[in-house]
Structure 1
Amino acid sequence: MMDEDFIKPDVVEELTGIRTPALAQLRYRGEGPRFYKPTPRTVLYKRSEVLAWVEASAQSRTGEAAIA
């Protein structure tokens, strides 16, 4: 049994609100949460890594980035 919770893209969609096709685009562009491909047609994510990715995207304001 795996001690890490692997989840499929549809579960990532439920957790984040990011649609499955948008997740595919993020993977293609090398963005988004880290993913795993145990077979050519299987995509899995670790729940903890998806949640960490969402946490890392926290913002303190909207719009363009603050100018230092």
Structure 2
Amino acid sequence: MAQQKLTPRDLAEELGVSTQTLANWRWTGVGPRYTKLGDGRTSPVRYRRADVDAWLQARENGAAA
């Protein structure tokens, strides 16, 4: 089964942040893992659902670090 992939717009809407915030997180390395679909600066970015869920779970209150 194919893994669900989210666009930055999809994920920004889901998290209640801007797409610029996601871009900043990618730049600083603090957001969820992502895949870049090319080598260029403007290549599309996608987030795997499993990576987003793992990132969110690691940030839940009371979660072990």
Q: TM-score, normalised by structure 2?
A: 0.79
Structure 1 ranges of 4+ moved more than 6 A: none
State the structure with more CA Rg. Answer: 1
| 2: CA distance, partners of 1:15 / 1:48 | 14
Matches within 5 A, 1:1-68: 3-39=2-38, 40=40, 41-60=43-62
The one-letter amino acid paired with 1:4 is: Q
Unaligned regions of 5+ residues in structure 2, if any? none
Q: TM-score, normalised by structure 1?
A: 0.76
Unaligned regions of 5+ residues in structure 1, if any? 61-68
| 2: CA distance, partners of 1:51 / 1:18 | 16
1:13 Cα offset (Å): 1.0
Report the secondary structure of 2:17's partner residue.
coil
1:35 Cα offset (Å): 0.5
